[in-house]
Structure 1
Amino acid sequence: MWFKNLQIYRLTAPWTMTSEQLEASLAAQTFSAGTSVEMQTQGWASPRENGMLVHTVNRQLLLELATEKKLLPATVVNQVSKARAAELEEQQGFKPGKKQMKEIKEQVTDELLPRAFSIRRSTRVWIDPVNGWLVVDAASPAKADEVFKLLLKSLEQLPFASLRTERSPLSAMTDWLAADEAPGGFTVDQDTELRATGEGKATVRYVRHTLEPEDVRRHIAGGKQCTRLAMTWSDRVSFVLTESLAIKRVAPLDVLKENTDSMARDDNERFDNDFMLMTGELAKMIADLVQALGGEEQQKKAA
């Protein structure tokens, strides 16, 4: 159950809410399947499918946002609307205007929605009251924003801010590659992206390719900066750091997998072991990464 992507946020005030209080606050926004005429529905679901909206292990909290969306391609709506407009033109003797076309599309959408396929996706949220982190397993900030919109509906207040560091990942990653030296506790892997800042934004990508220091330095000297860098932390977790301080492609290495598998007796215990191991390891990794980037930006942290 390891998170694949990390959108990281700092809790700006101590977390004082108990699991029971959080459960009660989320209950009003519990997920329920959408009706035949709803394009999208969202709500809190049980991370363990046991009816509980908050799963707690070792003071770490796990939430899950469920999203159900109807698949109704615009091309289908446009095709049916075009045929419907042609029929109307024949009846009334002139082409439908903008207002009529809008009404036709709305009517067609309402008619087709009950027959549209639905897809459901889940976005998991880890709240770490001990170290003050809030982490969303999302590949983009837009998906994380969906979580926060519903959290703010569910809670009276949620003091958080995006994680900001004294050094930008763009600058730090470029310097690490130029010096051919990763920060303490980390190693550089074989995937990276270097992009120019000019109008053309020329880009060079290395995928499972040994990074030759001289080649990399030549690209940097030519004005390119590192926007993505694959790294490994403490020989335990591999990931890709991006220029926006998002962490992607998170994967525990074999040493962690072996320890987890040997401890678990059943699925429930395995899930809890995985969650406890993940939160423990990632909390340390995030702290080390923040330190490698010069620490948290003091003005933002104070705000």
Structure 2
Amino acid sequence: MKNLTIFSNHPSWIPDFSLLDKNLSIPGKLGYSWKVLRDGLPYIRIGENIILTCELQKKLIPAQVVADEVKKRLAELKKEQGFKPGKKQAQDVKEAILIKLHEQAFVTSKLINVWINEKHKTLCVESTSKGLVDDVIKRLVRDIEYHGKPIEVSNSVIGFMRKIILDDHAMAGSILRIGSNLVLQDDENKKQISYKNEDIVTEEIKNHLFQGKTPKRIELEIMRKCVSFEIDENLIISKINIDDVKIERSDYENEDDYFDSLFAMHSAQCMEIITSLLDVLGEVDQFQEAETTEEEMQQSYEDGYLAAAQGKQKSDCPIIRSELVAEWVRGFDTWHEENQATQEEVA
């Protein structure tokens, strides 16, 4: 894994991978589907880690081929008609050529890995492309009812990048250290300054920051380990480089055992990257239920009381937190107790 877009899974989400069987990939099947990986299954489980592979198949029509065909056909029409085709006619020609070329086009395939860690309740898509990641997440929601959100941190990632460059002690207590790659951007003209394989804790770079330039991407390393990676302002991890994983293929009887061992080690290193970042940035628990207030309790009681007065049934209680349900029911019952005599007279 070289790139990771991180998501936090809802604590209650338990994936049912058998649901993926409804959308398995076969050669020539256009769109997104799930590739069969091992033993006829579209996933591989290695301890607390699960890997899926989403396959995008689409027909490739090179833009230059389209342009050449359109140019050729428009020239023919001009000769036949005696005048240059107009915009509408040119557009119709292009659409007709696209339809024809689409039928003849080769199908291309792109594989996007999805890594799920059950212990840390995270899901990572191996891509930095927002559009591609969004598409894969949509398929996960549709195919295995995925319930999660993009990882959220309590501290600004840009602020963190600025701080570790400007403050020599900002990384104290962390296993992270600054690497040698950096991208700064001037927010006014959007021009970028890139530093590659350089010391990035210099007076020149500090002056750029003081002048208002914004760090967009920075390389970090894990101390005492040959692990480096880059993060951007959205905490998307890229260019993961793990040099200390040394596994010989000859030590394993088959490819499956070799892959499992290699992936177990790589995923452990990647999880260390994620947890070390969350340690310094602070992960926000997006699924923690807020404490119920007295106002909410009173409102639920009044809602239940009103529901009873309107002749509704107890089964009409809305889906809310358990303590609010209890208050709603208490209000509902209170109305009936207060109006029991009236109800008996009516009866």
TM (norm. structure 2) is: 0.74
Gaps of 5+ in 2: 290-347
User: Residue 70 of structure 1 corresponds to which residue in structure 2?
Assistant: 59
One of 266, 270, 286 as aligned partner of 2:258? 270
Structure with the larger RCO, 1 or 2 (CA within 8 Å, 6+ apart): 1
Q: Are residues 1:245 and 2:235 paired?
A: yes
Superposed counterparts of 1:271-290, under 5 Å: 271-290=259-278
Structure 2 distance, partners of 1:150, 1:186, is 34
1:128 maps to which residue? 117
Between the aligned partners of 1:51 and 1:69, the Cα distance in structure 2 is 23
Q: CA deviation at 1:213?
A: 3.0
**Partner residue of 1:106 out of 95, 99, 123:** 95
The TM-score normalised by the length of structure 1 is: 0.84
Shift of 1:98: 4.6
* CA positional deviation for 1:301: 4.5
- Contact in 2 for aligned 1:14/1:129 (Cα 8 Å): no
How far off is 1:92 after superposition?
5.0
Aligned to 1:178: 166
5+ residue gaps in structure 1?
none
What CA deviation, in whole Å up to 9, does each residue of 1:234-259 have, x standing for no partner?
A: 424210111110000011122xx126
1:93-112 deviations in Å (ceiling 9; x for gaps) = 66545544333222212222
Take 1:54 and 1:239, find their aligned partners in 2: how far apart are those partners?
A: 26
How many residue pairs get aligned? The number is: 286
Is 1:61 paired with 2:50?
yes
Q: Of 202, 207, 213, which residue of structure 2 is paired with 1:218?
A: 207
- Structure 1 pair 261–253 and aligned structure 2 pair: CA distance change class (3 A): farther
> In structure 2, how many angstroms separate the alpha carbons of the residues matched to 1:57 and 1:6?
19
What is the distance in 1 between the residues matched to 2:232 and 2:157? 7
Tell me by how many angstroms 1:123 deviates.
0.5
Contact map agreement 2:24 2:34 (CA 8 A) in 1: yes
Q: Distance in 1 between matches of 2:40 and 2:218?
A: 40
Deviation at 1:202, TM superposition (A): 4.1
Secondary structure of 1:270's match?
helix
**Aligned equivalents of 1:149, 1:284: Cα separation in 2:** 27
Match of residue 178 from structure 2: 188
Report Cα offsets for 1:199-255 as digits up to 9, x if no partner: 12343221001224322221211112322111112424210111110000011122x
SS at match of 2:12: coil
Contact 2:165 2:201 in 1 (8 A): no
Displacement after TM superposition at 1:29 (Å): 1.3
Distance in 2 between residues matched to 1:146 and 1:43, nearest whole Å: 11
Q: Secondary structure at the match of 1:16?
A: coil
Larger Rg: 2
Q: Which amino acid aligns with 2:168?
A: D
1:149 to 138, 145, 155: 138
Provide the alpha-carbon RMSD of the alignment.
2.4
Q: Give the deviation of 1:270 after TM superposition.
A: 1.6
Query: For 1:167-196, what per-residue CA distance to the aligned partner results, in whole angstroms no more than 9, with x for missing partners?
Result: 121110110000134351011111112223
Per-residue CA distance 1:62-116 (angstroms, 9 max, x = gap): 0001122332123322331233234345445665455443332222122223443
Partner of 2:24: 30
The residue correspondences of 1:79-94 to structure 2 (distance < 5 A) are 79-91=68-80
For 1:95 and 1:152, the matched residues in 2 are separated by: 50
Contact (CA 8 Å) 2:181, 2:198: kept in 1 or not? yes
Contact 2:36 2:42 in 1 (8 A): yes
Q: SS where residue 13 of structure 2 aligns?
A: coil
CA contact (8 A) 2:59 2:108 kept: yes
Question: Does the 8 A contact of 1:192 with 1:226 survive in 2?
Answer: yes
